[in-house]
Amino acid sequence: MADTIKLYPPKPDKVYFYGTCLIDLFYPDAGMAGIQLLEREGIEVVFPEDQTCCGQPAWTSGYHDEARKVARSQLSLFPEDWPIVVPSGSCGGMMRKHYPQLFRDTPEAPLAAEVAGRVWELTDFLLNVCHIKLKDLGSPATVAMHTSCSARRELGLAETGPRLLAQLEQVTLAEQVRPEECCGFGGTFAVRHGDISGAMVAEKVEALTDSGASTFVTTDCGCLMNISGYAEKNRKPLQGQHILSFLWERTGDKPEGSS
């Protein structure tokens, strides 16, 4: 469940950036775009080099001991009291919502709870902590928006993406039917239940293309990979992009004072 009362911190001078596995391996441009957006807001971004997986694949597959082993190595990466920003509702949800449960009744429980309380999904952070104001430098475009299940249901962030896109004067947000429906990825769900996952992503691609948009943006790389992969394999006229890359491309002027 989403936080019933979410207390946003003041805009900080520094943040930790937790990059996620999929951004590291497949979509580094989205990670760089997130860092650039933060830096343009005057925030110093610290990237702990020893970060690896958040532990979610093992957690959602029922391997809690293995998930704890992976997650334990992340807890020591954030010693300062700076916010931890995550460009993914999926990994952000794991760290913010499930780390306290994962480490319950262990010596790491206090640290896990403290770390979890500093985790923020990045679009939420940009909108509600940085109070970002975007100046659209792009040409007219129509896009559809897909918000991941984790961002929507665990973190309560169904509206952060659309609200950021609404700041772009030249961008029209196309409405899809049943925007709340899952794309079928679900991490290991797509591996264990391939036929069901395939049917779900087929319906999602149909909904996105029927919206009239040839481009969609999303807050999670798992959804991006799943939807874009199906569309490409089946020759559907639909291109995908992480919302952070999209925002930076359209607003990517340099910070004040930069050369």
141-251, CATH topology level: Rossmann fold (3.40.50)
Cα–Cα distance, 62 to 176 (Å, whole number): 33
CA-CA distance, 201 to 190, in Å (whole number)? 10
231: burial class by Cβ within 10 Å (0-12, 13-18, 19+)? Answer: buried
Note the pLDDT of residue 2.
47
- How far from the centroid of its chain's Cα atoms is residue 200's Cα? 20
Average pLDDT over every residue of 201-228: 96
Q: What is the largest CA-CA distance in the chain?
A: 54
Report whether pLDDT(156) > 70. yes
For the chain, residues classed under CATH 3.40.50.11810 are 141-251
Check pLDDT > 70 for residue 257.
Answer: no
Q: Are 178 and 211 in contact (CB under 8 A)?
A: no
Mean of pLDDT values over 111-126 = 98
What mean pLDDT comes out for the span 11-40?
97
SS3 3: coil
Given a contact cutoff of 8 angstroms between Cβ atoms, the answer to whether 259 and 236 are in contact is: no
Q: Smallest Cα–Cα separation from 87: which of 143, 164, 188, 140?
A: 164
User: For 26-44, what is the mean pLDDT?
Assistant: 98
What single-letter amino acid sits at 129?
V
3-state helix/strand/coil string of 136-186:
CCCCCEEEEEECCHHHHHHCCCCCHHHHHHHCCCCEEEECCCCCCCCCCCC
Question: How far, in Å, CA of 200 to CA of 147, rounded?
Answer: 15
Residue 46: helix, strand or coil by DSSP?
A: strand
* 174 φ/ψ sector (left φ>0, alpha ψ -120 to 50, else beta): beta
What is the percent of the chain with per-residue pLDDT over 70, rounded to a whole number? 95
Residue 253 pLDDT exceeds 70: no
Residue 256 has pLDDT above 60, yes or no: no
- Rounded to two decimals, what is the model's pTM? 0.93
CA distance 63 to 6: 30
